[in-house]
Each structure stands twice: as structure tokens, then as C-alpha cells.
Homo-oligomer: A and B are copies of this chain.
Amino acid sequence: MQPRSGNDHPLARGPSIAAIGLWQGGNGARAPLLSEAERARLAAVATIVRFKKKAQIYREGDRADAVFNIVEGVVKAYRTLPDKAEHIGAFLFADDLFGLAEEGRYVNSAKAVTAVTAYRIPVPALSGRLQGDATLEYHVICKLCHELREAQRHAMLLGFRSALARLAAFFQLLAQHQTAGNGAVQELYLPMSRSDIAHYVGLSLEAVSRSFRALARRGVLRFRQKRHVSVLDRGKLAALAAENGRAGKAAGRPAP
């Protein structure tokens, strides 16, 4: 259901990862990293797995037997605190890798946000492939750098003190993902619930809802349905994401 366009692997040719270039300047878009041969070699050790919406893929602390590569769908990587609060560390999309481990255990839990199709690559097999294949390793390095930058962007977002700024930044991330490839300004689809968004941006569910409305009222966004949004004013969005503090206050100050 998620409109991933421009990608013509009908879940066939093997694992695929994409990232923005590291040292050689590109066009600013994510580009596929693996050659046909590399994909084929990885396909030999991978299996296709499917998860339905809300399915648990693994839990924090489980033995990390495999790494996953998304073909289609959206996954959330999260941690649950003792007091039940949930923090979402990342949303993962097609051509992303997930299954980060520490000393043989997954460092966070993963759950399917939408229906998901993915390659499952057992760790021993991957390890083996990596040892011998320097080019593949280099591509993985590029992908990891990409994920590192994304994690830093997320941390950046969470550093904002105002709810509007955080959500503006969130929409920029989303827009970057769904616009990637063509520069066309299309409608965005929100694959995740308000609650997931709240857990990702570090706000309460209600604050997210209110901020959405505020952004719509200000003419920045337009909701066609609850999960279908258009960005009307990309400039204002960027301004909100940049102006951290409570800036927009100057006008409309109520009398005490």
C-alpha cells in the first residue's frame, strides 16, 4: 500500500541497500549500493520473510541470529522502559538494514508498522560473506554511515524544545524519504500511528495531535485524511524546524 516508486525489484533480485554518498558527491539522493552480483551472492544466503502489520520481529535482548533488509514496508526499532514508556529509535524503510546487535544480543526491539517483506540474513553467513568481499564491506560501511547520520538527525530533532519544531523536522524527514528520486511535491503518507509519531519525537500523543492541527491552521500542512498530508509551504516548515525556540509569538499576543 505504501507508494514506493521507481524501484523495480519485484522482490526478486536479492537484498538491496541504499544510501547517500559519503565522499563522492552525488545528486543528493539515496542511491543503491549493491551490484547485481553482490545482490545475487547475498540472496544465496538469505531467505525472504514476511510480517504482517504489528508483528513483533524480535525483542531487545534476544539472541541476534540474523540481520534484516527491508524489501517493502515500514519497521520501527524501539525500546520499552521499565515504566512501559516506549521510545522509537528509528523508522526503517525499503533498502534499509536493521538488527543491530551488541555482544550477540539485539539492542532494541523491532516491530512491523505496516505489512513487511524482508530478507533475513543469518549472521554467520553474513559474517562469512563480509570477510572475503572487500567491496561489499565498503558498501556496508557507506550504509552504516548513512544510518549514523540519520540517527544524529533524529537526535537533532529531539533536541528541539518546541513541539512544532519537532514535528516540522519530522515532516522534513518523511518528505525526504518519500520525495527521494523525483523532486515532485506529492502528498505524503504517514504509515505510522500518531502514537508512534509521539514516541519518535518524544512528545505526548495529544501534543502531536494538537501540533498537527496547528500546522494545518497555519497553512503549512493540509490533511486530506488522517494519514494523508500535503506540505503546502515547504519554506515555513523549514523555518519552524530551524527556529528552535518559541519564535512565532510576536504576533497575536493576547492581553493579560
Contacts and interface: CB of A to CB of B under 8 A. Distances in A.
Contacts of A156: 79, 87, 89
A141 B20 CA distance: 17
Give the number of copies in the complex: 2
Interface string A140-173: 1100110111011011101111000000000000
A22 B102 contact: yes
A101 interface: yes
A255 interface: no
A98 to B, nearest CB: 11
A202 interface: yes
A191 to B, nearest CB: 20
A107 interface: yes
A81 interface: yes
A83 B247 contact: yes
A101 B22 contact: yes
A184 to B, nearest CB: 22
Interface residues of A, number: 58
A5 interface: no
Contacts of A158: 155, 158-159, 202
A251 B138 CA distance: 52
Contacts of A137: 130, 134, 137-138, 141
Nearest to A77: B152
Contacts of A100: 145, 148-149, 152
Contact of A141 (B24, B101, B140, B155): B140
Interface stretch (A208-216, A225-233, A238-246): A238-246
26 contacts: A21-B104, A22-B101, A23-B64, A23-B104, A24-B103, A24-B104, A25-B103, A25-B105, A81-B243, A82-B243, A87-B155, A87-B159, A90-B152, A100-B145, A100-B152, A130-B137, A131-B134, A131-B135, A137-B138, A144-B145, A144-B148, A151-B155, A158-B158, A158-B202, A160-B202, A161-B202
